[in-house]
C-alpha cells in the first residue's frame, strides 16, 4: 500500500509523506538531509580531491610519527641492554650484534613472506610506474603492513646497519594514495581514471618526503626531480597542499605529546648570523662540491658493480633466492661486528644515531683547533652537549677518525644496500656527505687558524657550514637532484648558507651527471625494470639520429583484402598484442590497428559460416563487428631521436608505427629506443 501524501497547510510546494508531515521538526530534518547530500557531492566531486590530499598528509604524518616513536623505544631498549649487561666483552659484543641481526632478519623474512615487492627502497619501481608501465600488485594495500613492519625493524637496528627511511616511506605514501583513490571511485561509483590516479601518486611522493623531514618545499621538488621526467603544473598545488598538511601535522605531534614546546627544526645549528661565510670561501665551497661529485661517481660505480655481482654470482644469487633472511643475517653480522664500540666502532662514532651524527657534524666549533692543545676524554656514554667527543681519538686525531669513517662507510653502505629488506638509502649518503664536508672544513680551519681576512676584518672558518654543504652536495650528486640544497635549509633553518651550498650542489651534479647514472636509475638498470632512460649524449651529433636509423622494419601487417586463410595463419603464428591494418596488400596504407584477442574471437565466430567456393577476406570480418582502432599518432622515418623520445615520455607510450607517405614501413618500441640511446652514449666499435 502506497503511503498517503499531502501538502502542509498554506504551502504550495512539493507533496510530502504523512511520516514527514507528522514527524518532529520536519524542516530541520530536511535541512540536515539536504546539507549532508550537498557535503557528499562536494567531497566526492570528480574534479575536487583536496579532502583526499589532506587525509593523505595527515595519515602519513601519523604513521611516520608512530614509527619514530616505536623505533625510539626499541633503540633505547637496546642501549639499556648494552649498558646494563656488564663488563664482559663477550656479553657486550653479543648484545650489540644479536639485537640488530634479529631485527634485520625478521624484517627481511616477514616482509618477503607477505609480498616480494616490499623490499628495498621502492623509488625505482615508482619511477617505472609513473612512466605508464603496470607493475602488478606493487601498489596493493596488502604490501602496506609488510613494509611498515619491515621498515620499523630496519630502522630499529640503529647505526649498525646505517639505513634510512625516505624511499620506503615514499612507497608507503603512494600505496596509501592508490587505496584512497579506489575508495573515492567506489563512493562515487566511477571507473578508474588513470590521469586522476597519477595526480594522486605524484602528490603522494611529495608527502612521503615531507612527512619524514617535515620539509614541504624540498619534498615537492625532490619528488619532481627523482620521479618525473616531465611535470604537469596542474599537479603543483596538489603536491604543496598535501606536503604542507603532512609536514605540519608531523611537527605538531611532538608538541601535542609534550616532547617539544613549539615547532622547531629537526637539526639545530648555531652558526653565526652576521657573517656566516666570507666571499673567498665560495671558492672552497665549489671545490668541496667537486670533491663530492668525484666521490659520488666512485660510489655509484662501485654500488652498481657490486649489486650486479650479487645478482650474477651463483652462490649469493642462490642464497638470495632461497633464504633472504640468511643473507640479511650474515651481512648485518659483519656490519654490527665492525661497529662494536670497544673495537673498530670506536673510530666510527658508532654509539651515535643518524640524527646525532648530523648534530655533531653540524657543530660550528673547529675540533682541530680545540684538540690542538687539549685532549678530551672518551666518555662512558655519549654526552648530548659534546657529541663531538665521539669523533676524537688521541692517536688518530679528528682527521684520522673522519677519514677512517669515510673509508669504512664507503663499502659498508654498499654492502647494506644489498640487504633484501625495506630500507631507505638517502639519509646514509646525506650523513656521508656531511662527513666529507666536515673533514674539508676542519682542514681549512687548520690551514687558516685565525680565519680569512676580508675587508680588513678576519672571520674564522666554520666547519659546520662545510658539513652542511657537503651533505647537500654528495646526496644531490648521488640522486642527481638540486633540491637537496633546499632540504638542507629546511632541516637546519640555515638559509644564510644558500649561495655556497647551492654552488657546491651544482658543482657536484655537474660532475656526477656527466659520468654516472643516479642511484635510482642505476638500480633500475641492474634490476632490468622497463624504464626509458634519458638521452645523456646531448651533443650536436645526437640530433642527427633519426627514426630511420634504429626502427624495426620487420612488421607484420594485415590487409583488408587478405584472405581469411592467410589471416588465420598470421594470427596463429605470431603472438603480438595488435596488428597494423592496411588498406590493401598492394598500397600498404596504414588505416588503423586490430587487437589480436578481438580478431581471434571474431574469426571463431565467423568460421562456421565459411561457404565452400566463396573467398572471404578480412574486410568481411571487420564488417561483421570486429572493432578497428584508428591511429592518432605515428612517426616518420625523418623524426629525430629526441622527438621520438619526447613522445614516448610525455604520452607514456609503449610503441609507435612508422609510416612514409602513409605506407607502414616499420615500428619503434622501447627496445629500439633503448638500443639507440645506448649506442649514442656508448658507440659500438667499428667493424
pLDDT tens readout for residues 473-522 = 999 999 999 999 999 888 887 777 788 899 999 999 999 998 888 899 88
pLDDT interval class at 686 (50, 70, 90): low
Kindly report, residue by residue over 90-109, the tens digit of the pLDDT. Answer: 899 999 999 999 999 999 88
- Phi and psi at 359, nearest 5°, equal -60, -40
Given a contact cutoff of 8 angstroms between Cβ atoms, the answer to whether 364 and 325 are in contact is: no
pLDDT interval class at 53 (50, 70, 90): confident
Q: Where are the alpha helices (DSSP H) in 189-235?
A: 194-213, 216-227
Given a contact cutoff of 8 angstroms between Cβ atoms, the answer to whether 336 and 93 are in contact is: no
Looking at 527, 560, 586, which one is the last position of a domain?
527
Packing angle, helices 463-479 and 426-447, rounded to 10: 140
pLDDT interval class at 4 (50, 70, 90): very low
DSSP 3-state assignment of 200? Answer: helix
The segment with the largest mean pLDDT, out of 18-32, 189-203, 221-235, is 221-235
- Phi and psi at 658, nearest 5°, equal -110, 130
- CATH number (domain holding residue 591): 3.10.580.10
Kindly report, residue by residue over 370-395, the tens digit of the pLDDT. Answer: 887 777 777 778 877 888 888 888 77
Given a contact cutoff of 8 angstroms between Cβ atoms, the answer to whether 391 and 401 are in contact is: yes
Residue from 508, 565, 124 nearest 287 by CA: 508
Give the whole-angstrom CA distance, residue 390 versus residue 160: 15
Average pLDDT, the chain: 83
Looking at 226, 257, 288, which one is the last position of a domain?
257
pLDDT of the residue at 289: 95
Q: How far is CA 464 from CA 164, 276, 362, in A?
A: 22, 10, 4
pLDDT of the residue at 2: 45
Give me the residues paired with residue 592 across strands: 581
pLDDT of the residue at 46: 45
Residues 238 and 296 in one domain: no
Average pLDDT rounded to a whole number, residues 641-661: 84
pLDDT of the residue at 333: 93
pLDDT interval class at 614 (50, 70, 90): low
Has residue 603 got a pLDDT over 80? no
End-to-end C-alpha distance for the chain, whole angstroms = 92
User: Which domain, by its residues, includes 404?
Assistant: 279-527
Looking at 493, 527, 561, which one is the last position of a domain?
527
- CATH number (domain holding residue 80): 1.10.3080.10
pLDDT of the residue at 17: 56
pLDDT interval class at 456 (50, 70, 90): low
Residues 383 and 465 in one domain: yes
Has residue 592 got a pLDDT over 80? yes
Kindly report, residue by residue over 318-353, the tens digit of the pLDDT. Answer: 888 888 889 999 999 999 999 998 888 888 888 888
pLDDT of the residue at 133: 76
Q: Does residue 198 lie within any of the structural domains?
A: yes
Q: Does residue 175 lie within any of the structural domains?
A: yes
| Lowest mean pLDDT segment, chosen from 290-294, 491-495, 609-613, 681-685 | 609-613
Given a contact cutoff of 8 angstroms between Cβ atoms, the answer to whether 57 and 211 are in contact is: yes
Q: Does residue 23 lie within any of the structural domains?
A: no
- Let me know the angle formed at the C-alpha of 548 by 544 and 553, rounded to the nearest 5 degrees: 160
| Lowest mean pLDDT segment, chosen from 71-80, 106-115, 673-682 | 673-682
Residues 216 and 76 in one domain: yes
Give the whole-angstrom CA distance, residue 218 versus residue 222: 6
Q: Rounded to an integer, what is the distance from CA 429 to the centroid of its chain? A: 15
Number of neighbouring beta carbons within 10 Å of residue 226: 25
Residues 571 and 663 in one domain: yes
Give the whole-angstrom CA distance, residue 435 versus residue 403: 9
pLDDT of the residue at 58: 92
pLDDT interval class at 199 (50, 70, 90): confident
DSSP 3-state assignment of 164? Answer: strand
Number of neighbouring beta carbons within 10 Å of residue 543: 13
Q: Does residue 181 lie within any of the structural domains?
A: yes
Has residue 430 got a pLDDT over 80? yes
> Pairing relation of β-strands 578-582 and 558-559?
parallel
pLDDT of the residue at 24: 62
pLDDT of the residue at 633: 85
pLDDT of the residue at 292: 96
Q: Does residue 162 lie within any of the structural domains?
A: yes
How buried is residue 620: exposed, middle or buried, by Cβ count under 10 Å (0-12/13-18/19+)? middle
- Structurally, the chain folds into a number of domains equal to 3
Amino acid at each position: 500500500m502506497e503511503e498517503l501524501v499531502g501538502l502542509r497547510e498554506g504551502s504550495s510546494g512539493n507533496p510530502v509523506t504523512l511520516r514527514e508531515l507528522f514527524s518532529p521538526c520536519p524542516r530541520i530534518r530536511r535541512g540536515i538531509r539536504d546539507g549532508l547530500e550537498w557535503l557528499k557531492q562536494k567531497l566526492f566531486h570528480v574534479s575536487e580531491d583536496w579532502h583526499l590530499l589532506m587525509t593523505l598528509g595527515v595519515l602519513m604524518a601519523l604513521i611516520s610519527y608512530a614509527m619514530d616513536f616505536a623505533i625510539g623505544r626499541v633503540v633505547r631498549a637496546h642501549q639499556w641492554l648494552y649498558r646494563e649487561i656488564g663488563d664482559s666483552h663477550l656479553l657486550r659484543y653479543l648484545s650489540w650484534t644479536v639485537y640488530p641481526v634479529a631485527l634485520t632478519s625478521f624484517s627481511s623474512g616477514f616482509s618477503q613472506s607477505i609480498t616480494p615487492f616490499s623490499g628495498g627502497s621502492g623509488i625505482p619501481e615508482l619511477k617505472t610506474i609513473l612512466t605508464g608501465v603496470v607493475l602488478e600488485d606493487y601498489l596493493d594495500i596488502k604490501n602496506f603492513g609488510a613494509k611498515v613492519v619491515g621498515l620499523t625493524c630496519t630502522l630499529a637496528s640503529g647505526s649498525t646497519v646505517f639505513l634510512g627511511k625516505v624511499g620506503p616511506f615514499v612507497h608507503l605514501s603512494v600505496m596509501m594514495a592508490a587505496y584512497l583513490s579506489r575508495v573515492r571511485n567506489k563512493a562515487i561509483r566511477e571507473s578508474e581514471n588513470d590521469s586522476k590516479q597519477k595526480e594522486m601518486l605524484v602528490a603522494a611522493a611529495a608527502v612521503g618526503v615531507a612527512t619524514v623531514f617535515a620539509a614541504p618545499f624540498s619534498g615537492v621538488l625532490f619528488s619532481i626531480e627523482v620521479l618525473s621526467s616531465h611535470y604537469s603544473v596542474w599537479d603543483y598545488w596538489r603536491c604543496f597542499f598535501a606536503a604542507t598538511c603532512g609536514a605540519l601535522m608531523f611537527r605538531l605531534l611532538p608538541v601535542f605529546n609534550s616532547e617539544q614546546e613549539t615547532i622547531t627544526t629537526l637539526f639545530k645549528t648555531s652558526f653565526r648570523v652576521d657573517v656566516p661565510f666570507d666571499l673567498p670561501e665560495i671558492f672552497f665551497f665549489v671545490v668541496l662540491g667537486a670533491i663530492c661529485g668525484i666521490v659520488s661517481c666512485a660510489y655509484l660505480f662501485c654500488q652498481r658493480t657490486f649489486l650486479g655481482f650479487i645478482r650474477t654470482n651463483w652462490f649469493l644469487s642462490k642464497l638470495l633466492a632461497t633464504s633472504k633472511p640468511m643473507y640479511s643475517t650474515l651481512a648485518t653480522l659483519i656490519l654490527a661486528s665492525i661497529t662494536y664500540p670497544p673495537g673498530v666502532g670506536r673510530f666510527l662514532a658508532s654509539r651515535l644515531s643518524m640524527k646525532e651524527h648530523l648534530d655533531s657534524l653540524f657543530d660550528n666549533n673547529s675540533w682541530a683547533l680545540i684538540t690542538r692543545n687539549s685532549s678530551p676524554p672518551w666518555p662512558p656514554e655519549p654526552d648530548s652537549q659534546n657529541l663531538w667527543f665521539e669523533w676524537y681519538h688521541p692517536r688518530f686525531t679528528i682527521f684520522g677518525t673522519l677519514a677512517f669513517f669515510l673509508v669504512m662507510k664507503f663499502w659498508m653502505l654498499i654492502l647494506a644496500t644489498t640487504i633484501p629488506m625495506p630500507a631507505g638509502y638517502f639519509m646514509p649518503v646525506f650523513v656521508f656527505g656531511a662527513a666529507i664536508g666536515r673533514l674539508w672544513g676542519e682542514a681549512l680551519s687548520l690551514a687558516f687558524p685565525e680565519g680569512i681576512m676580508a675587508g680588513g676584518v678576519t672571520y674564522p672558518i666554520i666547519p659546520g657550514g662545510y658539513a652542511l654543504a657537503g651533505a647537500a652536495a654528495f646526496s644531490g650528486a648521488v640522486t642527481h637532484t638540486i633540491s637537496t640544497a633546499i632540504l638542507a635549509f629546511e632541516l637546519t633553518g640555515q638559509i644564510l648558507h644558500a649561495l655556497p651550498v647551492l654552488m657546491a650542489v651544482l658543482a657536484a651534479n655537474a660532475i656526477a651527471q656527466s659520468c654516472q647514472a643516479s642511484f635510482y636509475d642505476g638500480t633500475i638498470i641492474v634490476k632490468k625494470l622497463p624504464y626509458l632512460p634519458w638521452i645523456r649524449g646531448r651533443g650536436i651529433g645526437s640530433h642527427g639520429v633519426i627514426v630511420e636509423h634504429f626502427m624495426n622494419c620487420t612488421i607484420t601487417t594485415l590487409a583488408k583484402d587478405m584472405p581469411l586463410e592467410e589471416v588465420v595463419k598470421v594470427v596463429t603464428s605470431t603472438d603480438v598484442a595488435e596488428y597494423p591494418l592496411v588498406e590493401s596488400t598492394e598500397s600498404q596504407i596504414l588505416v588503423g590497428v586490430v587487437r589480436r584477442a578481438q580478431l581471434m574471437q571474431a574469426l571463431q565466430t565467423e568460421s562456421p559460416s565459411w561457404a565452400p567456393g566463396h573467398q572471404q577476406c578480412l574486410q568481411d570480418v571487420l564488417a561483421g563487428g570486429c572493432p578497428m582502432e584508428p591511429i592518432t599518432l605515428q612517426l616518420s622515418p625523418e623524426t629525430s631521436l629526441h622527438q621520438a623520445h619526447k613522445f614516448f615520455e610525455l604520452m607514456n607510450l609503449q610503441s609507435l608505427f612508422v609510416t612514409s607517405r602513409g605506407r607502414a614501413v616499420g615500428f619503434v618500441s622501447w627496445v629500439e629506443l633503448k638500443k639507440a640511446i645506448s649506442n649514442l652514449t656508448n658507440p659500438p666499435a667499428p667493424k
